[in-house]
Each structure stands twice: as structure tokens, then as C-alpha cells.
Chains A and B, each alone.
Chain A
Amino acid sequence: MSEEDKIKQQLTDRFNFLADKVTIKRARRLFMEVSMDKFRDVFDHAIKSLNFSMLTTITGLDEGDKFGLIYHLASESGIMLNIKTSIPKDDPILQTVTGYFPSAEMYEREMADLLGINVKGLPAGNRYPLPDDWPADQYPLRKGWKSDVLDKKENR
């Protein structure tokens, strides 16, 4: 049994609802989807019991009426576990994971700036990466956002 298969086995043994949700796409790449209310448990388990000691980044996706979030966890043995979850776009609230990974701060601020996700529990600090005078309610990574909004503002 490969290490990837073992991880899949351990995940599905621990969480019944993951039965057909974990895919091994290729060597060292696992993908899985989990609902937001179960996300914390699975995330915690992956870090504490499955040795995923690194968070490479968090990818935010605009998927119409919801935001997809992929937490890219990595282990020292080179395996990456990509945990996907989602939150509704009309109530985009997320709890920070900086308690697990201090380096998540920048990844979460990025999602706040570029997608308009409200990340709760972040330490005080500067925004990233948009400028301080960036117009409110403009989230460039949302689908349908066009940069000409800014041009119009400048030509006023």
C-alpha cells in the first residue's frame, strides 16, 4: 500500500462522510472536498495525526454563488493534500488558520483583498496586496470584475 493510499484510508476510516470524496490524482497529490461545517475537524486531523506540517498556500476561487477555498497542505515526505471547502458568496465569512500556521496570515489577507472574503481572527496588521487607497467593494479576482472600473474613477 502506497503512502497516498494509507492517508486516504486513514481519512476515510476517521471520517465516514469522506468515503468517496478523496481522490489520488497522481503520486503525491491528494484532493478532497469537505463541507465548511466539517472542515475544521478534517483540517485539524490532517495536521495533527497525518503529519501535514506545512501549509503551502490557500487558493480562493470564485464559483458563482459561492467561494471555493483550497488549503494546500504538504508533508515532509513530499505529499500534498488539497482540502477544498466552500462558503456562500453572500455571507463570505471564514475563520483564520493562523493559529496552526502563522504564515497563513498573508494568504488570508490576499483572499480578503482580492475576493472580498471576511477572515475572522487575523492579527492586526497591514492589508495585502492592494494599496491603502483601493476603492471599497472592488475585488479584482471575482469573475466579471474589470479593471476599467479604476479607469473611470481616474477620469472623473
Chain B
Amino acid sequence: MAEEKEFRIPIGPQHPALKEPVSFSLALRGEKIMGVDVRLGYNHRGIEKACEERTYIQDVYLVERICGICSHTHSTCFVQAVEEIAGLDVPKRALYIRTLVAELERVHSHLLWLGVAGHEIGFDTLLMFTWRDREVVMDILAMLTGNRVNYGINTIGGVRRDIRAEDIKGILKAMDILEERTKYYIEVATQETTIIQRLSGVGILLKEDAIKLGAVGPTARASGVARDIRRDDPYAAYAEMDFNVITDDHNDVFGRAVVRLKELLESYKMIRQSVGNLPEGPIAVKAPRKIPAGEAVSRYEAPRGEDMHYVKANGTDRPERVKVRAPTLANVQAVRHMLRDRYLADMPIVVAAIDPCFSCTDRLVSIRDMDKGRTDIIEWSDLRDYSIGWYKRRGVDFSKMGKMK
């Protein structure tokens, strides 16, 4: 009988192009993952502490830089808390503009994810298509805010830029294009057998586990947990938006893809509503430099799930405490659970499927043979190739797929 060896594989933490480096150390028996050890904190920049040392208005720009993708998420979440403490009555027009930018951000984030997911499973055509479509949204964001990322649209008391009437036409036209494209991707994802075979049954998270482990966002919704802060605890203009909370009961990576795709359609709906019903009036109220003592909790449905900010004010121009809980931290336990007893080949897509921005660039992966004490170093890209090859040998081959439109 062949001797069974246990391997430990550290993966990460370096992937400087995207947010939140993370390190997974996997204990393997053969190709099976026996245990998952997570090490977070590589990108801890002390932003909570830094917020205490800066003024509220400086903090708006600082928290916006917590994440390069969900930048509007964090700045909105923060200003909402400060506005609540200061008792500011934010004009409706500003709330609509925040909602518009929020949904545009979700579209860009979900399209980005779809491309990354395609790449991780060896379906790069999808990456090319979705990232091309994503440029449509990036252009709108640049037109509306002046920036492709870190939009700087928020300020305490409202937004900093108004929407011009002539921009609205362009936005509506872009939504028509994106909606058509998204419907096609839904068709491809739900009918193309190669994708179904590759994603179904991978990264299983049952409903009761999703609830128990505190999963958030599309990860939870794809396990049938209908949690969405936009509906449950509405902020900005969401109470006036007509939309559905998308859930799915596949409980796997396939379900997570379907949820994000269908959420795109809901986002287009909300973008149309926010420009169509845009109230007239001012876009901001003047905020005091010093915020009266008090505390508030602000919640926000980021593309990846619930984001939460707690702000405590002490009457000065600087906060006493700022606490941030980003969605990925809530999904870490779920990933651990999804990987256990699964194959190493499923690692890239399972990790990518919570959308932690983990799957971007080349990272070193070292494989240590526990019995011989030997260490081999391979790269994340090689792990990806291994994964694609592993599935090809089992008949899942995207190069044999039909041509895309």
C-alpha cells in the first residue's frame, strides 16, 4: 500500500493589485484538503486608528481608500453614521445620487468578479467579454464623479457633484446595452454544460451552515439566505427603489454565479429608477466641523455583503472611534468550511467565489512535504493551471465549447 503523506500548502498572502491579502495554509492528504488555516491581516494599515487622528472630512477620503473596489461602500457607510450623529437632513437628490453610484459600483464589481471567476476556471473568453462590458460602467463612473475608482462623490451632508441632465441619456443607453449582454451571460451560464459541470457541487455551503457561520452577501444568498441590507435596513434611497432580493438554492459556486448575474439585472433596474425619479433640489447641506458627542451604527450592502461602520463622536472635529467590519471578514469562516474535504483543484474557484479579490495576480505557493521536510515553491498561476488541467482530464474543457456571441 502506498504510504499516505500529508502536505501543508501555504497560499498567499501577496497579491498587491487588489485588496485584502490573505494567506491560506492547506493540509492535504493526497489531493484532498483536510484542514484549512487562515492568516489575515497582511494589509492591516491601521485605518481605524488613523481616523481618530484626523478630522471627519479627512476621514471620508481615508475610509474611501479601505478598498479600491468598494470605495463608495465605505465612504457612504461612514458619512451615514456621521450624518446620523450630527442630525443632518441629507437632501433627497443626494441620496439618489449615492444610490446611483452604489449600484454602478455593484455592476462594475460583479462584472469584474464574473471575469475573475471565468479566468480561474480556464474560461478566459468570459473574462475578455465581461471586462470589456465593465468599461461601460467605468466610463459612466468617470463621467459622473471624475474618477474611475475612489470616486470622491460623498461628503458629510450630501454629495459633491450633481448629475447633468444630458448625462442621464447616456446612462440609460448604457443600461440597455449591459442588460442585453447580461441576459446573454445568464443564458451561457445556465445552459452551457461545461460551466454547469465545472461549478456545480463545488464549494458547498448549506443554508444552515451559511446562517451558523454568519455568511453575508451573494455567498449567503446563493445558499438560500435572503439577507440584503438594502431591503432589511434601507439606507440612501433604497426604501423607494423597486427591486428583488435574489436568492438561489444551489448552495455552490454555480449558485453564487447565478445570484451575481441576476443581481446585475436588479442593479440596472435601480440605476434606471434613480436617474428616472431623481428629485430636484440641493445636493448637500452644510455640515458642522465639530460633530456633537454621540454614536451611530451604519450598515450598507456592499457588492460582497454587509459592510458596517460604527462611529463614536466626542464633540471635537475628530472621531473618538471608528470601527469597520468589511464583508470578507464575515465570509472567512464560510470559506474554511467550503474547502474542507474538497479537492485542491477546487481551491481557486471556491476562494474566488466569495469574491474576496484574492484571485488576481501571481502569488507564490509553497508546498511542503511534511514527511521529507522538503519545500517546493510554485506560483498561484501554476495552481490555477493544475486546477484547469485536473478538470480537463475529467472532461471539463472550455476550449471545446461553442463560440460566444
Q: B-contacting residues of A (Cβ < 8 Å)?
A: 25-26, 28-29, 31, 53-57, 59, 61, 70, 72, 74, 76-80, 82, 101-103, 105-107, 114, 125-131, 140-141, 145, 147
Interface centre among B37, B48, B227, B233 (most CB of A within 10 A): B233
Q: How far is the CB of A91 from chain B (nearest CB, A)?
A: 22
Using CB atoms, name the residue of chain A closest to B212.
Answer: A102
Interface hits, B37-73 → A, CB 8 Å:
37-41, 44, 46, 48-49
Known: A59-B323, A129-B44. A103 touches B330 (CB 8 A): yes
Cross-chain contact A56 with B306 (CB below 8 angstroms):
yes
Q: Which residues of A contact B234 (CB under 8 A)?
A: 78
Partner pick for B40 among A103, A129, A147, CB 8 A cutoff: A129
Known: A56-B306, A106-B332, A126-B39. A29 touches B297 (CB 8 A): yes
Q: How far is the CB of B70 from chain A (nearest CB, A)?
A: 16
Q: Which residues of A contact B37 (CB under 8 A)?
A: 125-126
Is residue B146 within 8 Å, beta carbon to beta carbon, of the partner chain? no
Q: Which residues of B contact A107 (CB under 8 A)?
A: 325, 329
Number of interface residues of B (CB under 8 A): 36
Q: How far is the CB of A104 from chain B (nearest CB, A)?
A: 8
Cross-chain contact B332 with A140 (CB below 8 angstroms):
no
Cross-chain contact B212 with A106 (CB below 8 angstroms):
no
Is residue B148 within 8 Å, beta carbon to beta carbon, of the partner chain? no
Q: Is the interface of B mostly helix, strand, loop or mixed?
A: mixed
Using CB atoms, name the residue of chain A closest to B229.
Answer: A78
Q: A-contacting residues of B (Cβ < 8 Å)?
A: 37-41, 44, 46, 48-49, 84, 211-214, 227, 229, 231-234, 295-297, 299, 306, 308, 310, 312, 320-321, 323, 325, 329-330, 332-333
Q: Which residues of A contact B297 (CB under 8 A)?
A: 29, 72, 80, 82
Partner pick for A103 among B213, B231, B233, B321, CB 8 A cutoff: B213
Known: A26-B84, A76-B232. A102 touches B48 (CB 8 A): no
Complex Cα distance A102/B325, Å?
16
6 A-B pairs (CB sep. < 8 Å): A29-B296, A54-B214, A59-B323, A76-B227, A102-B333, A106-B329
Cross-chain contact A106 with B295 (CB below 8 angstroms):
no
Q: Which residues of B contact A74 (CB under 8 A)?
A: 299
Using CB atoms, name the residue of chain B closest to A140.
Answer: B49
Cross-chain contact B233 with A80 (CB below 8 angstroms):
yes
Q: How far is the CB of A144 from chain B (nearest CB, A)?
A: 11
Partner pick for B308 among A72, A125, A131, CB 8 A cutoff: A72
Q: Which residues of A contact B227 (CB under 8 A)?
A: 76
Cross-chain contact A130 with B232 (CB below 8 angstroms):
no
Interface centre among B306, B312, B321 (most CB of A within 10 A): B321
Cross-chain contact A57 with B323 (CB below 8 angstroms):
yes
Known: A80-B233, A101-B214, A103-B214. A56 touches B329 (CB 8 A): no
Q: Which residues of B contact A57 (CB under 8 A)?
A: 308, 310, 323, 325, 329
The 7 lowest CB-CB distance pairs between A and B, nearest first, are A129-B41, A78-B232, A103-B214, A57-B325, A78-B233, A129-B44, A59-B323
Q: How far is the CB of A81 from chain B (nearest CB, A)?
A: 10
Known: A78-B229, A78-B232. A128 touches B41 (CB 8 A): yes
